[in-house]
Amino acid sequence: AQKITQTQPGMFVQEKEAVTLDCTYDTSDPSYGLFWYKQPSSGEMIFLIYQGSYDQQNATEGRYSLNFQKARKSANLVISASQLGDSAMYFCAMREGLRWTTDSWGKLQFGAGTQVVVTP
């Protein structure tokens, strides 16, 4: 069963506008971590932001913030003030387990991704 769902295959956003990328997840493990990655056309996956399941506050990293709604099992990424360089594929991912002792440490389950195109 799909554990990470990204319902928006693609979207256009104007430069300087904010954009929200949707992500819902499914797990029965109370301990998990949620990640967002960006993949430009070059192929490299770039880490953007992380939210742990027990974190009380929504994570923020510069222009990126994560809208974490635990009861709804959603972890939407918000990019504020979009830039042309933000054009890329964006992936939501989940790790089940929070501690190094989990044998899932290196195993992230990814969604299908959302292609974002920023226009001038």
Partner 1 sequence: KAGVTQTPRYLIKTRGQQVTLSCSPISGHRSVSWYQQTPGQGLQFLFEYFSETQRNKGNFPGRFSGRQFSNSRSEMNVSTLELGDSALYLCASSSDRENTGELFFGEGSRLTVL
Residue placing its CB nearer to partner 1 in the complex, 16 or 70 = 70
Distance CA 13, CA 90 (A): 14
Measured from the CB atom, is 100 or 120 closer to partner 1? 100
- Nearest distance from C-beta of residue 45 to partner 1, angstroms: 4
**Minimal distance in Å, beta carbon 115 to partner 1?**
12
Quick one: DSSP state of residue 97? -
CB 95 within 8 A of CB 107: yes
Minimum Å distance from CB 17 to partner 1? Answer: 27
Q: Tell me whether residue 28 or residue 101 sits nearer to partner 1 (CB atom).
A: 101
Q: 18 or 54, CB closer to partner 1?
A: 54
Residues that bind partner 1 (CB under 8 A): 33, 35, 37, 42-47, 50, 52, 91, 93, 95, 100, 103-113
Picking from 36, 33, 27, the residue whose alpha carbon sits closest to that of residue 65 is: 36
Which bin fits 16, alpha (ψ -120 to 50), beta or left (φ > 0)?
A: left
Strand partners, 73: none
